[in-house]
């Protein structure tokens, strides 16, 4: 059984939130969708809500799933959901920086290898409306 990492694709006014990782050194500087590992006993949705509180200081509402299991390092899979902001404005509590990407900027950041295909799927989903 793989460890599940959840990721939130937060969309607001047609922009998508990207977060720049601070660690570990081999990932630092790369951009990702906020999220992290599901804790034992926690549901995936609970983990998404917790990670967005911890990393961004916001409350989110979880929407549609984006794709299926996205490959990560061996022993891990990533699952992603669209989300909207319920309360608060995101602050980079654990990341180096945050960016709200407009459609023409979706691929302007250096996405982590795992997150780039998710961004492609999100671009397709949002283009369909
Ligand atoms: N990861 C990759 N893309 C993402 C997220 C949230 C996580 N969008 C990778 C980075 C780490 C692992 O998953 O190797 C666990 O993430 P975290 O708990 O360190 O955020
Ligand atoms: Mg994280």
Per the structure, the count of domains in the chain is 1
Q: Are 83 and 11 in contact (CB under 8 A)?
A: yes
Ligand nearest to the CA of 53: 2
Domain that holds residue 70: 3-128
As beta bridge partners, residue 99 has 18
Secondary structure (3-state) at 42: coil
What is the full per-residue pLDDT of the chain (129 aa) written as tens digits? 789 999 999 999 999 999 999 999 999 999 999 999 999 999 999 999 999 999 999 999 999 999 999 999 999 999 999 999 999 999 999 999 999 999 999 999 999 999 999 999 999 999 986
Q: How far is the CA of 35 from the centre of ligand 1 (A)?
A: 7
Ligand having the closest approach to the CA of 72: 1
ipTM score assigned to the predicted complex: 0.98
**CATH no. for residue 88?**
3.90.79.10
Cis peptide before 59 (omega within 30 of 0): no
- Does the Cβ of 36 fall within 6 Å of ligand 1? yes
Q: Comparing C-alpha atoms, which of 20, 15, 17 is closest to residue 95? A: 20
Say which DSSP state 103 is in.
Answer: G
Is the Cβ atom of 30 under 6 angstroms away from ligand 1?
no
> What's the 87 CA to ligand 1 centre distance in angstroms?
24
Look up residue 74 and give its two tokens. 């061996």
């Amino acid at each position: 059984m793989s460890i599940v990492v959840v990721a939130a694709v937060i969309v607001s006014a047609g922009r998508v939130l990207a977060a720049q990782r601070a660690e570990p050194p081999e990932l630092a500087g790369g951009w990702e969708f906020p999220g992290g590992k599901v804790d034992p006993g926690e549901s995936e949705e609970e983990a998404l809500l917790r990670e967005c509180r911890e990393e961004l200081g916001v409350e989110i509402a979880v929407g549609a799933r984006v794709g299926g299991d996205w490959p990560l390092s061996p022993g891990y899979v990533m699952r992603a959901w669209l989300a909207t902001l319920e309360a608060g404005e995101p602050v980079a509590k654990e990341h180096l920086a945050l960016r709200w990407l407009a459609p023409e900027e979706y691929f302007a950041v250096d996405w982590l290898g795992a997150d780039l295909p998710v961004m492609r799927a999100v671009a397709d989903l949002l283009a369909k409306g």
